[in-house]
Amino acid sequence: MHESSTGLVAQAISCTRGYRELFAGLDFQLQAGQVLRVEGENGSGKTSLLRILAGLAQPADGQILWNGLPTRHADNDYFQQMLYLGHKPSIKFELTPVENLCMHQALHGHVQPGGIEGALEKIGLYGFEDIICANLSAGQKRRVALAQLLLTRASLWILDEPYTSLDVDAVKMLEGVFAEHVNGGGMIIITSHQPVSVADSDYRRLCLPDTEVMQ
């Protein structure tokens, strides 16, 4: 496979769960302005792959490169340029939406134009800023987590089932956020049980366990 010196490159990635091999020899690459949807049956290893890409698990074999360097390389800025959101809301239920996003910014050191209040308004949580997240609906909890996308400068977004618990209007809004990100040179890796539409993007599919990237 031809490799670019920029962006994300996966080389011969293998993953096992217990005694079962989920996938092996997985090769793909992603560059600025591209969206990669990871597809496969339940149990095929979609979440496992995303966790490997996010550095939360190690592959049985192979390596991940970012701008030509292994992600484990001491000089690599990969983990400053990557944001991972799992299929469960990555928020503290005992905190309010504002407090959760303040914690996110404190950890990542990012302050974006418009700030936290602007992000919550855009994501559809105006009026719910100071309500404990435990008292929010499942869809509202998901929106709090997704508001992190509006506050990060990370160029690579790794998203596991981001549409979970969202209504039609929220999905449309989120896809607008996706389009703005990739049209600005960002990258997205996503799993979803429902169709993914990102306007004017270079959209690709990675099918597990066949390990084929299809245009």
| Per-residue pLDDT tens over the stretch 27-80 | 999 999 999 999 998 888 999 999 999 999 999 999 999 999 999 886 778 998
Higher pLDDT, 171 or 72: 171
pLDDT of residue 90: 83
Q: Is residue 33 a contact partner of residue 6, using CB atoms and an 8 Å limit?
A: no
pLDDT of residue 211: 41
With cut-offs at 50, 70 and 90, classify the pLDDT of residue 2. very low
Calculate mean pLDDT across residues 106-127.
80
Calculate mean pLDDT across residues 141-147.
94
Which amino acid is it at 134?
A
Higher pLDDT, 9 or 197: 9
Rounded to two decimals, the pTM is: 0.90
Q: Please, what is the Cα angle at 205 between 201 and 207, to 5 degrees?
A: 170
Structure tokens at 63: 């390596």
Q: What are phi and psi of 39, to 5 degrees?
A: -125, 160
Q: Which CATH superfamily is domain 8-214 in?
A: P-loop containing nucleotide triphosphate hydrolases (3.40.50.300)
Calculate mean pLDDT across residues 115-131.
91
Is a pLDDT exceeding 60 seen at residue 4? no
Distance CA 212, CA 209 (A): 8
pLDDT of residue 1: 45
Domain ranges of the chain: 8-214
pLDDT of residue 64: 95
pLDDT of residue 213: 45
Find the helix packing angle between 168-183 and 138-146, rounded to 10°. 10
3-state secondary structure of 212: strand
Question: Burial code of 24-34, b = ≥16 C-beta within 10 A, e = fewer?
Answer: bebbbbbeebb
